[in-house]
């Protein structure tokens, strides 16, 4: 379980998902889900692969459009935004892709500099250097600045991906399967980093995962998703004390299989 209490203002909702539907042909992926996310909260959307988790966060940043319902992020209805407004919103919402999404032809330092130079014209070289050093320190990889992504382990690439997202100081972090493909020790390191990012940078985060250990380690609130619907939400222990067969099935799948 998390070892510190987050500073959450339960009156301040920074993401509001309301009655969201999304289908791809006859495949009904999201079936009327609603969710509030509060400022400073780490909320985990937990479910097996194919339940619609990643589709949800792609709609949050305008990469996909809903069929009906909507998502309000930082006071703005995402589906109504112009391209310029959507670009500005995305600067406030950091998206951590499952594979890290690093440019293989750039060093770690150049990967981190890229979003700064692209999105903050006029920034000085000294400021760029300072911000790169800050985020590398935050993820515990200060000595990798001149390395190529190919020289890094899978866990290190994930950390650098998080650092590159952090460098623009987003209000919201979206993590897509942050522990996928990692060994148990590295998973623990990534979980600790997600908590440290929340604590150090005062972020609000949505963590998409099917990893119950990750959910238990990082989640202030757990939302269990099955077949495009939310079937249970609450603190981890409260959720998994349920006698609901679907909840127990998911728990057993993670910890017994």
Q: How far is Cα 214 from Cα 182, in angstroms, rounded to an integer? A: 12
- Across 221-250, average pLDDT: 86
- Across 173-186, average pLDDT: 91
Q: Residue 39 belongs to what H/E stretch?
A: strand 27-39
Domains annotated for the chain, with CATH where assigned, are 1-11+39-66+80-92+170-257 (3.40.50.300), 103-164 (no CATH)
- Across 224-251, average pLDDT: 85
> In sequence order, what are the residues at sequence separation of 6 or more whose Cβ sits closer than 8 angstroms to the Cβ of residue 39?
8, 9, 12, 13, 14, 204
pLDDT tens profile 212-223: 899 999 999 999
pTM of the model: 0.88
Instruction: Note the pLDDT of residue 125.
Output: 92
Give the model's confidence band at 45: pLDDT under 50 very low, under 70 low, under 90 confident, else very high: very high
What's the gap between Cα 253 and its chain centre? 23
């Amino acid at each position: 379980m998390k070892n510190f209490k987050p500073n959450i203002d339960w009156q301040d909702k920074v993401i509001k998902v309301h009655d969201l539907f999304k289908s791809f042909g006859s495949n009904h992926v999201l079936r009327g889900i609603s969710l509030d996310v509060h400022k400073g909260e780490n909320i985990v959307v937990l479910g097996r692969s194919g339940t619609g988790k990643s589709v949800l966060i792609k709609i949050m940043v305008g990469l996909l459009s809903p069929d009906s319902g909507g998502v309000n992020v930082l006071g703005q209805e995402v589906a109504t935004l112009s391209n310029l407004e959507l670009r500005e919103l995305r600067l406030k919402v950091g998206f951590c892709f499952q594979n890290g999404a690093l440019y293989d032809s750039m060093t770690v330092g150049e990967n981190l500099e890229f979003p700064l130079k692209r999105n903050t014209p006029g920034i000085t070289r000294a400021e760029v250097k300072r911000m790169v050093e800050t985020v590398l320190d935050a993820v515990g990889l200060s000595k990798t600045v001149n390395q190529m992504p190919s020289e890094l382990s899978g866990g290190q690439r994930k950390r650098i991906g998080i650092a590159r997202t952090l460098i623009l100081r987003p209000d919201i972090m979206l993590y897509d399967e942050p522990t996928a493909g990692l060994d148990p020790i590295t998973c623990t390191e990534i979980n600790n980093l997600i908590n440290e990012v929340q604590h150090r940078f005062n972020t609000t985060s949505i963590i998409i995962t099917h990893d119950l250990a990750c959910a238990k380690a990082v989640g202030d609130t757990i939302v269990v998703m099955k077949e495009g619907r939310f079937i249970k939400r609450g603190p981890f222990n409260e959720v998994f004390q349920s006698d609901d067969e679907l909840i127990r099935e998911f728990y057993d799948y993670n910890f017994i299989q």
